[in-house]
Chain A
Amino acid sequence: MIYLLLAAGLFMGWSLGSNDACTFGTAVATRVVRYRTTVIIIAIFVIIGAFTLGPNNIGKLAELATSNEVMASSDSVRSAIENGTVAELRFKSGLKAAIIFICAGLTVFGINFLKFPVSSNQAITGAIIGWGLFYADYSNPDVLSTNLPKIGAFVATWVLNPLSAGIVSFILVGTVGRFLEKRLSTLGSYDMIIKTGYIIAIVLGSFSIGINSSANVTALYFDYAYSETGIAANLLTSPVITAGIGGIAIALGVLTYSKKVMMTVGGNIANISQMDGFLVIIAMALTVVIMGNVLGIPVSNTQATVGAVLGAGLTRGAKQVNFGVLKSIGIAWVASPTIAGLLAYAVAFLTQGFFG
């Protein structure tokens, strides 16, 4: 019964999968790769990414959730063991995770409805902080000094991630793109480069989504203290299973509800060619994998994609970039964690009788 609480995270994963698939929209919309082939490749590599490197990205998010009273700390697990209230703690942990996912999910849905690219990663982080602002005593200097560097690290990735993706994309398009262009001898060779490039991009991109997003989807159900206490105080205790379940949820989203998003994805941030299109995805994937593994923080694929598209556009000059659209995206990026945080704060206030 308690595992029903996983549904909120799985739903988040499902919607994230259907949304993140838009990264590969160009390949499908221009019929370079068939939709069926694309979603099968994505599903396979998302799951592989989630099971292999996905567990590396759970830690930092779980730490942030613990210091913001969303997840149970080792101390509270120990006291629950002493008081015989582990089952209650476990249920409350699962429920809190579900609340965070619902707040983040509603935010993502709302911003998506307004047709802005939104980062679920930002929404989850915002919701965790919102919850923490109510329950964690931020007026306590110890709590503040514990949380501020963690929050700072997450916020830093929101800037560093698109910036790095932009730089990687700028370099990749400027070097590999131009290198390939010079070797175009026939229309057939152009098609071959595009097709091979997109398949490589889909494989790498899906793998990076599996690594990153799986943590976003299920990390809050993971019992971070389990290795110390040996008692399950949350729904999931294995990092591999935790990330893997997230990956499967995302893959299901890709397989069942991604066609519309893929077909409607537009290139209105910058004018990029088919050739640059796959290099942008590769740049996004490289950035997300490297950043995720170096920092151990799940970073946003959406933000990386926007940064990479911008970087590719800049190789053709600033005129190619639609700065008006970027302004709207910037507003959405600020709004996303703020709205999710306010929602979580409101829910925390309304449920204080139960959780407090």
Chain B
Amino acid sequence: MFTKSTKTNTVHILLLEQLRDVESCLLYFESFMRAACTKETVHETLKSLAVNVSEAEAKADISLRKMIDSLQGHAYLPSTREDIISVATSCDKIANKCEAIANHVVYQRFNFPEQFAEDFLKIVAITHDQFEVLEKAITKLFTNFGELLKDHSILDEIRSFESMVDKIEHKLNEEVYALDIELAAKMQLAKYVESVCDISDTIENIADKMQIMLITRKA
């Protein structure tokens, strides 16, 4: 009965394109982290993997701008335009955070201690899974909005991933501060724990934004 207009369809396509770019940035980041957690990885390899992350982030930036441009006009109500922009810019932050972590690891020539490698990689893998669910939820806004209005459980699923990350973060922090190393080194490591976990927090915040978006439109 109510079919998509060309303008709203364009926004949908461009937003999905941006999400794909953010996801490819996350995938490059996963590869980067795998390498960074491996003792044998040489600095040049890490550097080139960080460049991949940066390039993917730049691509995601371009997609975001294209998507925002496509919102001009009257395809959506102003409040919807604001909500879409808010979700898209938050998604862009995911890529920004991946890039920032990769760059810092390269600048600091940082090596993740071997005993923490598994946990760091687990966090990154969970975050990737969490993002995939977020992608599905965002897609539903444009394909099955009515169902999403009635059933927010997909957003709860996103939050459950963040809880898993939280548990690992807590465990990691405890272990980091129990290490017999200098306080500055502990703080440096703890900062990486915080930064890597922060990506999952960002995804959770997007889910919260979507929930508000749905509640304000719920009949």
4 closest A-B pairs (Cβ-Cβ)? A188-B8, A189-B2, A184-B146, A273-B219
- The listed residue (B2, B141, B143) touching A192 by CB distance below 8 A is B2
| Complex Cα spacing A273 to B219, Å | 5
Encoded as 1 (CB less than 8 Å from any A CB) or 0, chain B from 38 to 63 comes to: 00000000000000000000000000
Which of A182, A185, A191, A276 is within 8 Å of B77, CB to CB? A191
Most chain A beta-carbon neighbours within 10 Å: one of B3, B8, B77: B77
User: What is the predominant secondary structure among interface residues of chain A facing chain B?
Assistant: helix
Cβ-neighbour of A186 out of B77, B142, B216, B217 (below 8 A): B142
Does A30 lie within 8 Å of B142, measured CB to CB? no
B residues 121-147 in Cβ contact with A at 8 Å: 141-146
Contact residues, B1-58 vs A (CB, 8 A):
1-5, 7-9, 11-12
When the two chains form their complex, are residues B77 and A189 in contact, meaning their CB atoms are under 8 A apart? no
A31 contacts the other chain (Cβ, under 8 Å)?
yes
Known A-B contacts A184-B149, A189-B3; the reply to A273 vs B143 at CB < 8 A is: no
B215 vs chain A, min Cβ distance (A): 10
Q: Judge whether B146 and A188 touch: CB under 8 Å.
A: no
Which of B142, B144, B217 interacts with A188 by CB under 8 Å? Answer: B142
Q: Please tell me if the beta carbons of B141 and A275 are within 8 angstroms of each other in the complex.
A: no
Q: Please give the number of chain B residues whose Cβ is less than 8 angstroms from any Cβ of chain A in the complex.
A: 28
Specify which chain A residues have a CB less than 8 angstroms from the CB of B219 in the assembled complex.
Answer: 177, 181, 273, 275-276
Number of residue pairs A-B, CB distance < 8 angstroms: 75
Q: A residues within 8 Å of B by Cβ?
A: 30-32, 177, 181-195, 273-276
Complex CA–CA separation, A190 to B3 (angstroms): 10
Please give the residue numbers on chain B whose beta carbons come within 8 Å of chain A beta carbons, in ascending order. 1-5, 7-9, 11-12, 75-80, 84, 141-146, 149, 216-219
A273-B217 contact in complex given A185-B2, A186-B8, A194-B77, C-beta closer than 8 Å: yes
Are the CB atoms of A185 and B75 closer together than 8 Å? no
Contact B75 A188 (CB under 8 A): yes
Docked-complex contact A273 and B79, CB < 8 angstroms: no
Which chain A positions have C-beta within 8 A of B217?
Answer: 190, 273-275
Q: Establish whether residues A187 and B80, one from each chain, have CB atoms under 8 Å apart when the complex forms.
A: yes
Can you give 17 contacting A-B residue pairs, CB < 8 Å?
A30-B77, A31-B78, A184-B145, A186-B8, A186-B12, A187-B76, A187-B84, A187-B141, A187-B145, A188-B7, A188-B8, A188-B76, A188-B142, A190-B80, A190-B217, A191-B8, A273-B219
